[in-house]
Amino acid sequence: MNLSRTAFLLSVTFVASASAENWPQWRGPKNDGISNETGLPVEFGEKKNLVWKLNLPGEGSSTPCVWGNKIFLTSADEKNATVGMCIGTDGKEIWRVPLGKGGRAAKKDEGNTASPSPSTDGKHVWFFVGSGEMACCDLEGNSMWKFDAQERYGKFRYGYGMHSTPALYEGKLYFQLLHDGGQNVICVDAATGEEDWKVDRKSDG
């Protein structure tokens, strides 16, 4: 996916529907990439089905998650650090929080530390970024907890970046850290960030 520095776009049909289905994480409500919404536009651009456009502070390729009138995503900022952002469905930035130490690109334009996508349950939003920071905020942007996966599980060793998006399910966050320095699948408690379990996931990748 190409990085987007220019803008975040939203289509007219999505904004207009006050009862639109929430999209709480990367793969949607049921983790299958399917939405039950109908009548959505199949094309949009600068002059077609566009309600607003917002310039982002930097590059990022995370998939936004949506709950009610709030949109959550990650981006590099003006200093090339990584931030979590909340944008209203009216196109106005509500808040941003610092997450990672740097927003460096992994390989050309194939991704950066703002590639993993956030998740929300309508009460909290969880962010993970490629430099290893995982964080939980409430919907007003207040920090609930944060940890550095590189400090907890070992320094990342990779050539193409860390783009793993945690999956939220029944109060737990599941994610994988696969790199030359370690290969694990990990589950943490979404309310506290404390580890529930970790298993080896050997790979020759």
Residue range 125-184, pLDDT digits in tens: 999 988 889 999 999 999 999 999 888 888 876 666 667 888 999 999 998 886 666 778
| The pLDDT value given to residue 89 | 93
170 falls within a domain: no
Q: How many CB atoms lie within 10 A of CB 85?
A: 27
160 falls within a domain: no
Task: Give burial (CB, 10 Å; 0-12/13-18/19+) of 36.
Answer: exposed
Residue range 13-67, pLDDT digits in tens: 444 444 578 999 988 888 888 888 888 888 888 888 888 989 999 888 888 999 9
- Please tell me the pTM assigned to this model: 0.84
- Six-digit token string for 102: 């740097």
CA distance 135 to 124: 10
202 falls within a domain: no
57 falls within a domain: yes
60 falls within a domain: yes
82 falls within a domain: yes
75 falls within a domain: yes
Total domains, the chain: 1
CA distance 21 to 28: 10
- Residue 105 sits in a domain of what CATH number? 2.40.10.480
131 falls within a domain: yes
Domain with 108 in it: 8-151
